[in-house]
Each structure stands twice: as structure tokens, then as C-alpha cells.
Amino acid sequence: MKKWYAVLGNPIHHSISPRMHEAWFEKYKVDASYVPILVRAGDLQRTVDSLKLLGCSGFNVTVPYKEEIVPFLDDLDSSAIEAGAVNTVVNRDGYLIGYNTDGKGLLAGISGLTEDKRVLVLGAGGAAKGIVAALKSRGIQTIGIANRTMDKALQLAEWAGGEAISYKEAERVFSTFDIVIQTTSVGMDEAMSPVNFEGWHPSMMAIDIIYSPPETAFLKKAREQGATTMNGLSMLIGQGALAFELWTGIFPDQDYCKETIFSS
Ligand code: NAP
């Protein structure tokens, strides 16, 4: 029987996940389809129950439901427990299991990420939580967390490990880090950066998890001052590939996805 998968969010029209998974279904001849579902505020539990009833084989969860969905699932994988959020759900015989592939998806795209690397994370929202949890699991010893709302940086640092610092402090010390990961939503809609870092150098790497626009103001400054840069596209494809593997047992070709979908 044909299987079907979904992504739940609000808004959802912008999601690239349907095109990404449909492309892989076609490449690997998996008889399945993938649909975006707009979930209005207050409708999440009913939607999850309906998906179960209708035999949905699995689904992704995006903004703003990654944390809210947790109580509506039957079990959580350790990746979701560590991140405190779910972006992928697998339906095993009517039993919904939540996973988090966001952080691992990002880390898979960073070459040379050894335990001794010093990593600064900007932001303390849902995405930052998954990334900090994945950095901890990867054995990274030095993690700085800077956020506009200091309390949230402190909470994340206490929950996952790491040291909370203010943006002001981060602007002073950021060049002592090897990798800086920008996880806030600043830069999506306007050419703005949450911080004003001066003094990037070529041994540093700047990562922005935003992929549209492809180069945010944060990345542009880092590139112009000689740092290596990476945008959020490889995280998007990386988390999707891990979800696809959980659903089908196939780890898909990520370059194929980049070439067929994102080059157009
Ligand atoms: P979230 O939970 O709402 O967190 C938002 C973060 O942005 C918080 O740290 C918030 O700081 C900060 N922020 C918002 N407006 C700000 C401003 N004007 N100045 C300074 N900081 C500001 O969102 P999220 O789920 O973490 O997502 C964050 C971004 O990551 C979004 O752009 C999303 O599209 C992107 N993302 C990309 C991928 C991918 O696959 N590439 C995956 C997940 C998310 P406060 O705590 O101070 O409010």
C-alpha cells in the first residue's frame, strides 16, 4: 500500500520539505507521497490524532510546534529528549515516536568538527537547543551561548551545559572561538545581523542556519573578513536525510537533492 508522510507547521506554504522528500521517493522508487499540513493554533493534538487514525507513516514538525508536540507522542528517542524538541515522528504500528534530527543534521555538514573546537552559539530558541544538545553529544568541550534575552541563554547553558554570555561580551570575545553558529531568526527578512562582530579571521568558520537569503548580513561580514562560511541549506538537507532514513531505512543522496531542487 502507498505510504504517506507530512510536515506540520504554521506557516507551512514556504516549506521545501515536500519537494525534498518527493525527489528522494522518486529516486529510490519508494511508493509514497508527502504533504504539507497547516496546523492552526489549538489544533495540534487533533491533527496528531487524525494522522494516527489515517495511517500516516511519519511526519516532520516545524515552527512553532517542535516543543508543543512532545506530550501528544507515545515515546521519545534520546535525540528528542536531549533537545527537548521533536522535528521528526515515526509511526511504528500506531505508536508515535519523536526524534530530533536538526542538530545532527547541521553537525554532519561541518567538516573538521573535533572535540577541541570552541563553538559559540548565537540564540537560545528551539533550533539552538537542538544544536547545543548535538554539540554536547559530539563531545565539544567549549560551548558559549549568547542571546538577546539573557535568561534564556542562562537556562540553555544550565540545561545543556556551556557558558552563557551577553551579546556585548560576545562581540568582545567572539574571535577566540573557532566556529560561530548563528541560530536566531534575524537576517531572514532584512539584511540585519543580531550582532556586530569585527575581527573575523581565516581560521574561523561562520555558520548561519538561515538558508533564505543564501547569504545573510552576518555571513557576508564574516566572508568579507576572511572566515569560511556556511548557510542553513546543508542543515535543512541533513535533517531531512536523517528523517528519510528513519522512515525508509535508506540514507539518501544529499547532493542529488541540492542539484535537482535547489539549483533551480
Ligand atoms: P525560535 O525558537 O523562535 O527562537 C528565535 C531566536 O531568535 C531566539 O534566540 C530569539 O531571541 C532570537 N531573536 C528573534 N528576534 C530577534 C531580534 N530582533 N534580535 C535578536 N535576537 C532575536 O526559532 P527557532 O525555531 O530557533 O528558529 C530560528 C531560526 O532558525 C529561524 O530563522 C528558522 O527558520 C531557522 N531554522 C533553520 C533550520 C534549517 O534546517 N536550516 C532548522 C530550524 C530552524 P530571544 O530569546 O531574545 O527572543
- Cα dihedral sign for 67, 147, 13, 60? negative
Task: Say how far residue 28 (Cα) sits from the centre of its chain.
Answer: 24
Cα 225 to Cα 163: distance, rounded to the nearest angstrom: 26
- Write out the catalytic residue numbers: 66
Q: How many CB atoms lie within 10 A of CB 219?
A: 23
Q: Report, in angstroms and rounded to the nearest whole number, the Rg of the chain calculated over CA atoms.
A: 18
CB 209 less than 6 A from any atom of ligand 1 = yes
Distance 249 CA to ligand 1 centre (A): 31
Asked if residue 7 lies in contact with residue 60, where contact means CB atoms within 8 angstroms, the answer is yes
CB 147 less than 6 A from any atom of ligand 1 = yes
Q: Which of 168, 159, 110 is nearest to 132 (CA)?
A: 159
Q: How many CB atoms lie within 10 A of CB 259?
A: 12
Cα 133 to Cα 154: distance, rounded to the nearest angstrom: 15
CB 232 less than 6 A from any atom of ligand 1 = yes
CB 69 less than 6 A from any atom of ligand 1 = no
Q: Where are the beta strands (DSSP E) in 31-185?
A: 32-38, 58-61, 75-76, 88-92, 95-99, 118-122, 142-146, 163-165, 179-182
Give pLDDT tens digits along the chain (264 positions). 899 999 999 999 989 999 999 999 999 999 999 999 999 999 999 999 999 999 999 999 998 999 999 999 999 999 999 888 999 999 999 999 999 999 999 999 998 999 999 999 999 988 898 999 999 999 999 999 999 999 999 999 998 778 999 999 999 999 999 999 999 999 988 889 999 999 999 999 999 999 889 999 999 999 999 999 999 999 999 999 999 999 999 999 999 988 888 776
CB 196 less than 6 A from any atom of ligand 1 = no
Distance 35 CA to ligand 1 centre (A): 25
Q: How many CA atoms lie within 13 A of 239 on its CB side?
A: 26
| Ligand 1 atom having least distance to the Cα of 211 | 41
Q: Where are the beta strands (DSSP E) in the chain?
A: 3-9, 32-38, 58-61, 75-76, 88-92, 95-99, 118-122, 142-146, 163-165, 179-182, 205-208, 228-230
**Predicted structure pTM score:** 0.91
Ligand 1 pocket test: which of 13, 67, 184 has the largest number of ligand atoms within 8 Å of its C-beta?
A: 184
